[in-house]
């Protein structure tokens, strides 16, 4: 059974029960393998887990943590985690070796580079994923081609080109850009590196999803150093749902029947996970059109069917929200209270924290707050998945007030 409520342009659904078959590909052994591979990279360093103590006091909860992925690999976003791991798995398959026997440097051996130098990897992206793929393939001496949806940031386009890819902005939305990448791969014998699945294309999206778990695993280790055994609440933003499904699927495996209460947050113009939950028929449902939102990294209309199943089973609530929620989160993080640390969060990275602040402060959202059990004992974590990947746009939202405001 679900409760469906629309208030203040924010729509949400709450499930009475959660649970289902645990996703085995996100179990602790698999995640250990992923993190060990990332540890083999010279650029690897755990990103900060920022404790916002003053904000937690203001909002009346015990702890608020923000996992700050703007520090990841110098790419200003988390996507390199999935790109590097999935490409490594693809190379292992080509070279007939086990990922457990490989490292990032293994692929840089002259005799190995000679075997892989003609491989071309292709993807569609709003920016962050494409930059991660370009960065990884360039380091390995391979080539990459990146297609971006219409309206994409020229700054993000240039960042992808600077990372070594052949990149262009198409006249289509994100989901159609994915189809272009798939078509070009079939025509040219390229390798698609995409974080959404379709029939016959499941391994690579699963490897990308696994790659994202490194940040979720790091966060648990960092909480333990702060005396916290587990988060009680997790707020996860969703595009196709691979990030959200990866983090939630891993936490479900770790904590079993004590899985953190998880809320999935999306932009209202691209709320395919929310729409899928609303339909309540077990199937993923699509959103079409321009998918126009400032949260470019979440502007996806077709859920990853594999991670949708995880979100369907283990998420407690699904939220569809206007752009001002993300803008609010960006400003809250950019203007910390007291001794709290400033966090530079981009449009897609800030929406979870933005929604959390509104959830606690708005009377109209009180029913959801109560159903989620948020109180003075709650330990909350949000994932800032990108920094100011479009600095000019970031400045306008945070300091100039020229974009959606609270």
Percent of the chain with pLDDT over 90: 96
Q: What is the mean pLDDT of residues 398-405?
A: 71
- Three-state secondary-structure class, residue 179: helix
3-state secondary structure of 327: helix
Instruction: Calculate the CA 344 to chain-centre distance.
Output: 16
| Span 274-300, pLDDT tens digits | 999 999 999 999 999 999 999 999 999
CA distance 17 to 315: 9
- Measured distance CA(53)–CA(251) in Å, rounded: 24
Residue extents of the structural domains in the chain: 2-78+206-400, 80-204
Give the residue numbers annotated as catalytic, written as ranges: 79, 126
Average pLDDT, the chain: 96
Bridge-based pairing state of the strands 317-321 and 49-51: unpaired
pLDDT tens track for 356-384: 999 999 999 999 999 999 999 999 999 99
Whether 404 has a pLDDT exceeding 90, the answer reads no
Phi/psi at 262 (nearest 5 deg)? -115, 135
pLDDT at residue 400, as a whole number: 82
Digit-coded pLDDT (tens) for 55-74: 999 999 999 999 999 999 99
Q: Are strands 63-68 and 379-384 parallel, antiparallel or unpaired?
A: parallel
Residue 3 has pLDDT above 70, yes or no: no
Average pLDDT over residues 243-272: 98
- Identical fold at 2-78+206-400 and 80-204? yes
* The pLDDT of residue 313 is above 90: yes
Do β-strands 120-124 and 10-15 pair in parallel, antiparallel, or remain unpaired?
unpaired
Mean per-residue pLDDT for 388-400?
94
| Length of the chain (residues) | 406
* Nearest residue to 297 (alpha-carbon basis) of 82, 6, 89: 82
Q: What is the pLDDT of residues 18-48, one digit of tens each?
A: 999 999 999 999 999 999 999 999 999 999 9
Helix ranges, 40-79 (H): 53-59
Residue holding tokens 């014998």?
189
Q: What is the pLDDT of residue 2?
A: 59
Q: Is 338 left (phi over 0), alpha (psi -120 to 50) or beta?
A: left
Residue-wise pLDDT for 89-114, tens only, equals 999 999 999 999 999 999 999 999 99
Contacts of 80 (CB under 8 A, 6+ apart): 72, 73, 131, 132, 135, 136
Residue with tokens 């007030």: 401
* Residue 4, pLDDT score: 60
- Inter-helix orientation angle 128-139/154-162, to 10°: 10
Question: At residue 8, does pLDDT exceed 90?
Answer: no
* Gap between the Cα atoms of 217 and 28, Å rounded: 9
Structural contact between residues 354 and 327, judged by C-beta atoms closer than 8 angstroms: yes
CATH of domain 2-78+206-400: 3.40.50.1100
**Residue % of the chain over a pLDDT of 70:** 97
Pick the CATH number of 80-204 from 3.40.640.10, 3.30.300.30, 3.30.70.940, 3.40.50.1100: 3.40.50.1100
């Amino acid at each position: 059974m679900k409760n469906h409520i629309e208030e203040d342009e924010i729509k949400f659904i709450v499930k009475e029960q959660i649970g289902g078959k645990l996703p085995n590909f996100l179990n602790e052994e698999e995640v250990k393998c992923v993190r060990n591979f990332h540890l083999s990279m010279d650029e690897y360093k755990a990103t900060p887990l920022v404790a916002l103590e003053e904000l937690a006091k203001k909002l009346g909860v015990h702890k608020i943590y923000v996992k700050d992925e703007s520090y990841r690999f110098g790419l200003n976003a988390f996507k390199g985690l999935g790109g590097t791991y999935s490409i490594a798995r693809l190379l292992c398959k080509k070279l007939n070796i086990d990922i457990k026997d490989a490292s990032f440097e293994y692929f840089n051996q002259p005799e190995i580079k000679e075997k892989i130098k003609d491989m071309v990897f292709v993807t569609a992206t709003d920016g962050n994923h494409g930059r991660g793929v370009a960065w990884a393939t360039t380091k390995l001496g391979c080539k990459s081609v990146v297609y971006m949806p219409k309206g994409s940031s020229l700054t993000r386009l240039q960042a992808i080109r600077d990372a070594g890819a052949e990149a262009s902005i198409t006249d289509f939305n994100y989901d159609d850009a994915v189809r272009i990448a798939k078509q070009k791969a079939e025509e040219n014998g390229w390798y698609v590196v995409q974080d959404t699945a379709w029939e016959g294309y499941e391994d690579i999206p699963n490897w990308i999803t696994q790659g994202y778990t490194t940040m979720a695993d790091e966060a648990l280790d960092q909480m333990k150093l702060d005396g916290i055994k587990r988060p009680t609440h997790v707020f996860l933003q969703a595009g196709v749902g691979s990030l959200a499904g990866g983090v939630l699927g891993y936490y479900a495996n770790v904590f079993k029947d004590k899985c953190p209460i998880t809320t999935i947050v999306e932009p209202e113009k691209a709320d395919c996970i929310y729409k899928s939950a609303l339909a309540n028929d077990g199937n993923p449902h699509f959103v079409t059109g321009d998918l126009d939102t400032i949260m470019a990294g979440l502007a996806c209309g077709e859920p990853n069917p594999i991670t949708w199943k995880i979100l369907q089973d283990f998420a407690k609530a699904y939220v569809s929200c206007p752009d001002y929620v993300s803008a609010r989160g960006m400003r809250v993080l950019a203007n910390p209270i007291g001794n709290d640390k400033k966090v530079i969060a981009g449009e897609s990275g800030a929406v979870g924290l933005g929604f959390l602040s509104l959830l606690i402060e708005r009377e109209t959202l009180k029913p959801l707050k109560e159903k989620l059990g948020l109180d003075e004992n709650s330990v909350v974590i949000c994932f800032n998945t990108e920094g100011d990947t479009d600095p000019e746009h970031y400045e306008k939202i945070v300091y100039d007030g020229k974009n959606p405001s609270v």
